[in-house]
Structure 1
Amino acid sequence: MKQFLTFVRKEFAHVLRDQKTLLILFGMPIVQILIFGFALTNEVKNSKMLIVDNAHDRASQQLIAKVEASRYFEIEQSVMSPLQMEAAFREGKIKVALVIPDNFNGDLLHLNEANVQIIADASDPNTATSLINYATSIVQDYQTGLNRNLTVPFRIIPETRMIYNPQLKGVYNYVPGVMALVLMLVCVMMTAVSIVREKETGTMEILLVSPFKPIFVILAKAVPYLILSLINVVTILLLSVYVLDLPVAGSLLLLFAESTLFIITSLALGIFISIKTSSQQVAMLISLMGMLLPTMLFSGFMFPIENMPLPLQMISNIVPAKWYYIIVKAVMIKGLGFNAIWKETLILAGMTAVLFIVSLRTFKIRLA
């Protein structure tokens, strides 16, 4: 028994001296419970709503005040033409719009009935359905308040419209998300593991003393995964168009160019991880846990980012998949051109450059 306790103390000493193990044991559960607690929610809130008030009468102002009192929407009031409103939807500036027609108050008083229009961006069908339901509920609540002391009740009829995805197919949301997830995991994990494998087997030292420059040795390991990932993009797009009935609304060439940039960003991240790690197990753990969860949680693929607290929204900005997801939805679903996605493209290019520069400066030619 004494020998057993001695071995137990020895193992405790090993664990307590290993900072990485302690981080995994205690840090990961804390981080995961906080992230899952704040990020994983089906409730939609703080979504940007455009209110177009064409009536400017007492009833329309009361309805707008009712919407503003809700915590579900961030209100932007404006007088827009239908083309300007559509442009705001295409650029992602708003998620839903409430259009109040002319003579709204007069229709209620003289006809006991009035219409309002609720328009939602259905490229994410789950969010669009929730927003339509929230907005409709607010209108009905306002109608109930009007009818409390009336013999002949007023009726406000919401006319709903889903744009970009009128049939509310889930594939419009999942295909861009799956593209980001697959490319990120394949490129990062496979590149990191393949380079670290050379370190573990001792062949990296042989490669580094060859006539090739070290940077070419590293890039040569990444090129095959670039080509294989592009094949993955082609496969996903073919399945999307011919099996899932999801057409590519925008430029196919632009979509391939942006996908290539994202793949290169992911490869650069994989190279950076391989330089910082010395074993395949560590590289795989960092690639899976460090890429899988952020891609699923902070890309906007599964949960709307605007629902999250501000610190988590800021963290999402360093996740490359977020920007690629925005690009794919803009090009593939909404049919936008480069003018609408140049900011996201610039961010991905900047991330790639930073990762390559840091990797080159921290790369050690001598492994021992």
Structure 2
Amino acid sequence: MKQFLSFVKKECFHIWRDKRTLFILFGMPIVQIVLFGFALTNEVKNSQIGILDMSRDEASITLANRINASRYFDLVTNLQSNTEIDAAFRKGDIKMAIVFPEHFRESLLHTNTAQIQLITDASDPNTATTLSNYASAIIGDYQDEIMGQNKLPYTITTQVRMLYNPQLKGAYNFVPGVMALILMLVCTMMTSIAIVKEKEMGTMEVLLVSPLKPIMVIIAKAVPYLLLSIINIISILLLSVYLLDVPIAGSIVLLFAASILFIITSLSLGLLISSFTNTQQTAMLISLMGLFMPTIIFSGFMFPIENMPLPMQVISNAIPAKWFYYIVKSVMIKGLGVEAIWHELLILTSMTVVLLTISIKKYNIRLSQ
């Protein structure tokens, strides 16, 4: 055991002296959590709009002010005619135009019916749909307010509750995905490169003639990345809570335990890659390019897996990040316990056992040659 700890200590010193490796290990999580948390968000905020108010009465002005006060909209122009609407869309000045007809308040109070036209730029259909939904919600709230207790007969109202994320913040979705992406890439890539580097430089043979068993030498090289990845988890969670306002609703102990399991799964995958490759460049390409896109596409945090064709849904089951993403969302965002994620934990454990078994057998074959 003392010899094993000495090897781990030696690897830690190697990593500490390599400033580029340290930058990747600690810089990548910070950059990605900030980038995904602020820049790459599925929320639609501060969208530029124009308002054509042909009524200019109390109701239309009040409603226009409420829409402008929302964080989703930014009123950039008060339009004067329908021709200005077309011109504003062609120039790209606005993404939505709101048109109040003449006698808006009078129609609303006397006939209980008034129309508002929402014109959106549907060249981006998702944004157009989202903007129209936001505006419709504000208009609906105003309608309920002025109706008060004088409800029309047979009026159907809809009550909506947003569980776990009532403000619909995109960070609630991206933080679990970024955790899975960072841990998968860092652990797998750095572990595979560290081991292949020894083989490429010819120093692996020197390590293997030590009193320590060969497989323990390999594991000793992976342990420092386990410790550094735990530090990464702590930094990601701190940034999430204090920078992105994403709370940890569930057990932090369970979250750390699941994260460590996923780290070991990723390290096992890195060991497997290193057993099949002989150059750092090849290991990096396989780890980075071969895992980056599958993790983003098949983990579920950017693209819903249930919307994919059945063959692609089957393929996604082989991606460890998919199961870890679900675990983090369940524990961190929903506040669920182990009874809700035992199935995913079992899958990750099985993946780890399989990957470690294949890696050890592969190394034993290579070392015996």
Question: What is the TM-score with the length of structure 2 in the denominator?
Answer: 0.58
Cα distance, 1:156 vs structure 2:
3.6
Aligned partners of 1:306, 1:280: CA distance in 2, in Å? 37
Q: Look up the match of 1:199.
A: 199
SS in 2 for 1:163: coil
SS in 2 for 1:159: coil
Q: Look up the match of 1:338.
A: 338
Aligned partners of 2:167, 2:239: CA distance in 1, in Å? 19
2:221 counterpart letter in structure 1: K
1:304 to 2:314 alignment: no
Deviations 1:204-247 (A, max 9, x none): 11111211101111001100000000000000111111111111
1:252 counterpart letter in structure 2: I
Stretch deviating more after TM superposition (357-366 or 296-305): 357-366
Q: Look up the match of 1:180.
A: 180
Cα distance, 1:155 vs structure 2:
4.9
Aligned partners of 1:153, 1:297: CA distance in 2, in Å? 49
Aligned partners of 1:204, 1:320: CA distance in 2, in Å? 29
1:259 counterpart letter in structure 2: S
Aligned partners of 2:366, 2:279: CA distance in 1, in Å? 17
Root-mean-square deviation (CA), in Å?
Answer: 2.8
SS in 2 for 1:160: coil
SS in 1 for 2:162: strand
2:255 counterpart letter in structure 1: L
Aligned partners of 1:173, 1:359: CA distance in 2, in Å? 33
Deviations 1:1-36 (A, max 9, x none): xxxxxxxxxxxxxxxxxxxxxxxxxxxxxxxxxxxx
SS in 1 for 2:297: helix
Q: Look up the match of 1:281.
A: 281
Q: Look up the match of 2:269.
A: 269
Q: Look up the match of 2:29.
A: none
Question: Which structure 1 residue ranges, 5 or more long, are not aligned?
Answer: 1-41, 43-125, 137-151
- Kept in 2, the 8 Å contact 1:272–1:359? The answer is yes
Aligned partners of 1:322, 1:174: CA distance in 2, in Å? 13
Q: Look up the match of 2:234.
A: 234
- Kept in 2, the 8 Å contact 1:193–1:284? The answer is yes
Aligned partners of 2:187, 2:306: CA distance in 1, in Å? 28
- Kept in 2, the 8 Å contact 1:251–1:331? The answer is yes
Aligned partners of 1:298, 1:267: CA distance in 2, in Å? 20
Aligned partners of 1:307, 1:250: CA distance in 2, in Å? 28
Q: Look up the match of 2:258.
A: 258
Cα distance, 1:366 vs structure 2:
3.5
Deviations 1:316-365 (A, max 9, x none): 00000000000000000000000000000000000000001011111145
Q: Look up the match of 1:293.
A: 293
- Kept in 2, the 8 Å contact 1:316–1:322? The answer is yes
SS in 2 for 1:336: coil
SS in 2 for 1:225: helix
Aligned partners of 2:201, 2:262: CA distance in 1, in Å? 30
Deviations 1:106-125 (A, max 9, x none): xxxxxxxxxxxxxxxxxxxx
SS in 2 for 1:218: helix
- Kept in 2, the 8 Å contact 1:208–1:365? The answer is no
Q: Look up the match of 2:25.
A: none
Aligned partners of 1:345, 1:159: CA distance in 2, in Å? 36
SS in 1 for 2:157: strand
- Kept in 2, the 8 Å contact 1:205–1:366? The answer is no
Q: Look up the match of 1:212.
A: 212
1:248 to 2:225 alignment: no
2:348 counterpart letter in structure 1: L
**Any residues of structure 2 matched to 1:29-178 within 5 Å, and which?**
155-178=155-178
Deviations 1:71-112 (A, max 9, x none): xxxxxxxxxxxxxxxxxxxxxxxxxxxxxxxxxxxxxxxxxx
Aligned partners of 1:268, 1:194: CA distance in 2, in Å? 13
Q: Look up the match of 1:319.
A: 319
Aligned partners of 2:190, 2:169: CA distance in 1, in Å? 32
2:280 counterpart letter in structure 1: Q
1:279 counterpart letter in structure 2: T
Aligned partners of 1:154, 1:282: CA distance in 2, in Å? 68
Deviations 1:148-169 (A, max 9, x none): xxxx997543322211101011
- Kept in 2, the 8 Å contact 1:265–1:351? The answer is yes
1:221 to 2:221 alignment: yes
Cα distance, 1:187 vs structure 2:
0.1
1:306 counterpart letter in structure 2: E
The alignment-based identity, stated in percent, is 67
Stretch deviating more after TM superposition (291-300 or 205-214): 205-214
2:344 counterpart letter in structure 1: E
**Any residues of structure 2 matched to 1:341-356 within 5 Å, and which?**
341-356=341-356
Q: How many residues align?
A: 229
SS in 1 for 2:247: coil
1:243 counterpart letter in structure 2: L
